[in-house]
Structure 1
């Protein structure tokens, strides 16, 4: 678990059906670490649960963080605790911020959000406005009642297209993704949306489409054991089928920090010195995967019989 600081819940507000925002501040009003659009934090709840949430407030406010939390009926209990148990005045731990989804320079942006996937995009819209860069947001959800932050988005006028599924059906991705080569597309939302966008953009050059997942990709894993060598100590361990690299190297005393253990948060990023990793994360893009010089051992494995890690 990464190092955390204790913050206090200073506001809890419903912003849509099944969505609340938490505003967090230091107990004595101190300055919080700076962050950039696309960043997320680890939220350490009083019951010990750790969950990752995108920062969706004002990045220029040095004293508060804001996150949006969707109640997940089939989740692991973290969102239910936030909705049902967490109150203003309670203390929570915060790890980070970290940014695996940065806003990079572009002549124009198309932002595509599905449901709670709007959260990391909100600060990006503000940043694009400040820079005077052309942009448009396509925002889908089940119903208007379930779509958070519609009141905040209203100020952007025609820059935003809101398409609730019960009114318009599924997003018309073929039309919206027919954009010129100078447009970068940022997409966040449920897996079905991300997969559909990735299929539509499969021929695009690396870097034009950028996505962020809140849950890991569906993927198979290598069924055979393989060796991992810790370069700094020279120690080697065998990773068994059904065991993660993280579990194996931690048992060997590597002391590697981790958080989500799903390949979505980026905490356990580790350098690869030799061997070919079998990437199973939801963070790296195709070019970064091809480079093969880092991996996320909480989920990723090996395509070769041996990996040498910078641990």
Structure 2
């Protein structure tokens, strides 16, 4: 009898540590975040009154929020698109190499090993108007010096360039793993039928890689939404609000000025946006899988 009870409770005992960790580090913080988003919450206040939807009303009436939402959308779209295109190109090239593939792969992956704060500081020096290496080479080719990080037109592209440099290898390694897992038979059949390299890529590689592509886009999109440390090291949300993303105004308003309730409301909105995007991409993956089965 005891052995039967132990056998039945065994799976629950095995899962218990994971469930406890999930409660401590995921569910409880989310419930606490949701709770304080309806409060005028500050760690220095003895009483944190309930204000209902006031934080959300103030949020949606704020021009700073809508500007941050637009900047975040532009940043996420540009970085993920460029990283996908460049990463896919590098993955295809590396997949076709027969000599020195691992050496080139190791060199390309170096940016991922660097902390975002280090990358941000490095690019901040490189883009300095007076002694930055980018302006040095610009002058060599006859161009004038540019204030990359303080110019209203170049600050956001400079952040995009920095993020693309660091995270394109991440996209590349996922897509390269997918390419290496593709079967050779469809390509051999296409070669016999006289298909060109582009036709094989368009009608064989892309369809077979669709699920991997969606997963790579999903992972990078989620991560791009969270950008903060690079902005802190390079622009601090400026000039004006040209590089103020949602995650930056969470820090600037919620932490810097100790308005945790307002910052929590922004985090909840960000969570809704990211979950909606994840749901959309996962549905695309499921539709593709169903299409393959039929």
**More strand, by proportion:** 1
> Fold match, TM over 0.5?
no
> Which is higher, the Rg of structure 1 or of structure 2?
2
What TM-score comes out, normalization by structure 1 length? 0.20
Higher relative contact order (CA 8 A, sep 6+): 2
**More helix, by proportion:** 2
